[in-house]
Amino acid sequence: MIKQIQLFLGPARLRALIALFAVTGLISLILNSMVNQYQWVRPVQSLLVLVFVVGGLVIIGGRMRREERGRWVTILTPSVIAIFIALLIAPQYSSVLIGGSLGWIVAALFLTRSRMPMEYRQAIKHLRKYEYADTIKVMDRVINAEQNEPNHYRFRAEVYRVWGKLGPAVRDYQKMIQLAPDSPVAYNGLAEVHLQRGEFASALEAARQANQLAPDDWVTFYNLGMIEDRLKLSDAVVEHLQKALALNVKDTRHRVLIHFYLVRAYSRLGHMEAAREQVQAMQRLAAGLEEWQTILNDKQADTLRAVIGDDVAGAQSLLRGDMQPAELVGKSDA
């Protein structure tokens, strides 16, 4: 459970949550020594509780997908308001308000609970135990029952990728494209699998198709730039990764790799000042490399490690000062 929380939040957000808890807790403990001297101490302590709750929600919510974040905002907003009233406005009704807020959370979780089919729950349970063959068997039954649902093929393809069976993953993404030809997700998945197999020309073709279908999605530009980096198409790398950054990549671990690929592209082009500027940008995103290291250490990351393991190691060497941008190009092109 702790490891899953670490993977979900990432090092930077986890540290921020711990720091928030430590600061608010320490201030509250200090105020305890003055609780009988000043009437304002209790309200301030209550406010500190709210600061921690709201701050924690912001830190955790920023990591969630938009739809999941909306669900939790719906669930928690009435409860936070009730707790605020109980602590700061009407403490005489605190037991009723706090009890009601907890009751609302339980009811809202029930009302907004996931409609995930039972088969998917079984598949995820097997996947968490690294039981890949059993996961695939479950998804085979799902697909046999609903052969025209593209998302079933997407899920099975992602399981195959984690398992390291990339050929079946390609076939599932191709089937998904057949069923949903306008899906950028299908083309992105296909591009990533071709990249994992070292089939760079096929990966580039699929990534371009995904980008045409979703030109406002930074992921499509990121995948394009990463594939073009392998093909040493440096001008295209700069163009597409700068467009990705312009679309506001909030994910730290992907931003740091974007800057790493830009370092390599600018170095190949001989623009060393621009390359050094990208290294400086990487230094502000060092936590992203910690996130990658945590992810790559997982048992299910063998395939991912084969694709970006060297990139993460190279980025770490740059930030430690063990390697200069020009040396990175020499190593990559050797």
Q: Is the pTM of this model over 0.85?
A: no
Quickly list H helices, 62-199.
66-84, 94-111, 118-128, 132-145, 150-163, 166-179, 184-196
Instruction: Give residue 261's pLDDT.
Output: 97
Query: pLDDT at position 299, please?
Result: 78
Q: How far is CA 174 from the centre of its chain?
A: 25
Q: Which residue has the tokens 């039972």?
A: 118
Which two three-digit tokens encode residue 179?
A: 């069923």
Give the chain's mean pLDDT: 82
Taking alpha carbons only, the member of 125, 194, 135 closest to residue 159 is: 135
**What average pLDDT does range 66-87 have in this prediction?**
66
pLDDT tens, position by position, 3-20: 555 545 566 677 777 888
What are the Cα distances from residue 318, in Å, to 124, 261, 289, 312?
A: 38, 12, 12, 10
Assess whether pLDDT exceeds 50 at residue 331. Answer: no
